[in-house]
Copies of this chain bind each other. A is one copy, B any other.
Amino acid sequence: MHILLILRILGILLMLFSLTQLSPLLVSFWFEDGAHKGFIWAFLVTFGCGLLMWLPVYKRRGELRTRDGFLITALFWTVLGLFGSLPFILNSNTDLVISEAVFESVSGLTTTGATVMTHLDELPHSILFYRQQLQWFGGIGIIVIAVAILPMLGIGGMQLYRAETPGPVKDSKLTPRITETAKALFIVYVMLTLSCALAYWLAGMSSFDAICHAFSTVAIGGFSTHDDSIGYFDSTAIMLICSFYMLVAGINFALHFYAWRNRSISHYFRDSESSFYAGVLLFGCIIVCSFLYYHEHYGINDALLHGIFQTISIATTTGFTTEPFAAWPSFIPFFLIMLSFMGGCAGSTGGGMKAVRVMLIMKQGIRELHQLIHPNAVMPLKVGRRRVEAKVISAVWSFFAVYVFAFISIMMALMMCGMDQTTAYSSVVATLNNLGPGLGDTAANFSSASEPEQWILSFSMLLGRLEVFTLLVLLTPAFWRH
């Protein structure tokens, strides 16, 4: 372990992160909302801490290895999550205790979008902007880490892609390729955000709302500047734009990058994961729309509009709402929440288990059935025309089991704190899948959760975002040996 080197990186990271507290400061001055002091203090504290970490070790050089990668990735989210809560704590308008402020900050950075804040519409613009921006930076962090770093650690749904990439990526050293890849992904991400904001603005949002919602849409975050979320705008155009961008943001950004560089879209259809992802969303939309219509909850038009919007929003784990879907008839809320276990594709900002894993698990189940009928046949598992490595399959299975195990453990911890079963169940889905809204007591927001519950849920959001294993590895004694 290169502790001092890691300290240096964290110091730089914190100093960079402190800069992100300057833009809400500008917003505060622009709207004269009086919340500027909190951001100035947050900036100074964050920058100062970063400087204090960096200064003593700034000359430290060395090569990072896989093991350091786990620690950095986990610390990245944890440390930023903690420091990101400063503006909420230091601002008198928000009135949050520490557990709530950290919850809100972690929820933003992990693009979960669960909130403990109420009466959003009355909050200062700068605070609202800051929340949205947290999601946006969280989003690009997720993509870079998922595409460039996790595969090197042997974690994450991108393993399937990794099997194809020759040479240095398979090495355990973190190579300079990361910088290039990160730059390219960042450009795509910015372009997507700009076009989304423009579309929102053209559809009638104020420029402030357009930018804010573009941030949380492209990040699959789900934070909004209004209590009624997207429902506030009451606009079919905005719902359709939002649906489109959620759909796009849930696809692997490596594919978007490819599309942008080669001016082609045919590879989306050739990609097995994207096709599976689209198929599941289509299936979900059909079920939800027909159920809404059949139960006479809506007329045909509204059933289609709300059904499609809500299915995409929950299945991609964005978590925007137009209607209180938790109150929809019978099994729809449960069905939607189950879809969020898929979430987005690997290498997107979506949460959940990722489409590629769900696809591999299903394929493996079907393969096993055929194997039982033809016990002596040799049937390799294939995606497209490619045979899936045994190592990848084993990693996917383990991920599934560990995910289920983490789910049950967190749910039990919440129930030990006294939560009822439905609320506990949906709160874990909402946080572990980085979805956002729950059912039961946490359908609207998490302010009713107790302090210990909020800490547990913050942990759950981090665990989900770190693909469980990154954090679990740190908890094994074997990791700290040597």
Which chain A residues have a beta carbon within 8 Å of chain B's beta carbons? 66-67, 70, 153-155, 172, 330-331, 334-335, 338, 361-362, 364-365, 367-375, 390, 393-395, 397-402, 404-405, 408, 411-412, 415-416, 418, 421-422, 425, 469, 472-473, 476, 478-479
Knowing A331-B415, A372-B153 are in contact, say whether A364-B473 is a contact too (CB < 8 A): no
Nearest-CB residue, chain B, relative to A287: B412
**Which of B338, B364, B401, B412 is A365 in contact with, Cβ under 8 Å?**
B401
> Contacts A330-B416, A364-B401, A369-B469 given; 6 further ones with Cβ under 8 A?
A66-B375, A331-B412, A361-B401, A364-B397, A373-B473, A373-B476
> Which residue of A405, A418, A421 has the most chain B CB atoms within 10 A of its CB atom?
A421
**Closest Cβ neighbor of A361 among chain B residues:** B401
- Inter-subunit contact A330/B415 (CB<8 Å): yes
Q: Contacting A375 at CB < 8 Å: which of B172, B334, B335? A: B172
Shortest 4 CB-CB contacts between residues of A and residues of B: A331-B415, A368-B398, A397-B397, A361-B401
Q: Which residues of B contact A401 (CB under 8 A)?
A: 361-362, 364-365, 397, 400
In the bound complex, CA of A343 to CA of B399 (Å): 23
Closest to A390 in B: B390
Taking the closest CB of chain B, its distance from the CB of A234, in whole angstroms, is: 30
Bound complex: CA A361 to CA B397 (Å):
9
Assembled-state Cα–Cα distance A364/B155 (Å): 15
Please state if A371 and B154 are interface contacts (CB–CB under 8 Å).
yes
How many whole Å from A151's CB to the nearest CB in chain B? 12
Nearest residue in B to A291 (C-beta to C-beta)? B416
Q: How far is the CA of A398 from the CA of B371 in the complex (A)?
A: 11
Cα–Cα distance between A400 and B404 once the two chains are bound (Å): 11
Q: Is the beta-carbon distance between A334 and B372 smaller than 8 angstroms? A: no
Contact B330 A418 (CB under 8 A): yes
- Docked complex Cα distance between A61 and B300 (Å): 60
Instruction: Sample 13 A-B pairs with CB under 8 A, ordered by A number.
Output: A154-B371, A154-B372, A155-B372, A338-B412, A365-B398, A365-B402, A367-B398, A368-B394, A368-B402, A369-B469, A373-B478, A400-B400, A421-B421
Once the chains are docked, how many angstroms separate the CA of A211 from the CA of B464?
52
Residues of chain B lying within 8 A (CB to CB) of residue A393: 394
Q: Which residue of B lies closest to A368 (CB)?
A: B398
Q: In whole angstroms, what is the CA distance A42 to B393 when docked? A: 51
A411 nearest CB neighbor, chain B only:
B334
Select from chain B the residue with minimum beta-carbon distance to A341: B408
A173 CB, nearest partner CB in chain B, Å: 12
CB-CB < 8 A to A405: which residues of B?
A: 365
CB distance from A380 to the nearest CB of B (A): 11
**Bound-state Cα–Cα, A415 to B67, Å:** 46
**Do residues B394 and A364 form an inter-chain contact, with CB atoms below 8 A?**
yes
Report the minimum CB–CB distance from A157 to chain B (whole Å): 15
CB-CB < 8 A to A364: which residues of B? Answer: 394, 397-398, 401
Q: How far, in angstroms, from A405 to B341 measured CA to CA in the complex?
A: 12
A145, chain B: closest CB distance, angstroms: 15
CA distance A373 to B404 in the complex (A): 22
Cβ of A331: which chain B residues have Cβ within 8 Å of it? 412, 415-416
Note all chain B residues with C-beta closer than 8 A to A398. Answer: 364-365, 367-368
**Bound-complex Cα distance A412 to B283 (A):** 15
Given the contacts A334-B415, A361-B401, A469 and B368 also touching, CB distance less than 8 Å? yes
Judge whether B476 and A370 touch: CB under 8 Å.
Answer: yes
The CA of A400 and the CA of B412, in the complex, are separated in Å by: 21
Chain B residue nearest in CB terms to A400: B401
Q: Are B330 and A408 in contact (CB under 8 A)?
A: no
Partner of A369 from B362, B422, B472 at Cβ < 8 Å: B472
A395 to B400 alpha-carbon distance, docked (Å): 15
B70, B370, B412: which contacts A335 (Cβ < 8 A)? B412
Most chain B C-beta atoms within 10 Å of own C-beta, residue among A398, A416, A473: A398
Closest chain B CB from A118 CB (angstroms): 26
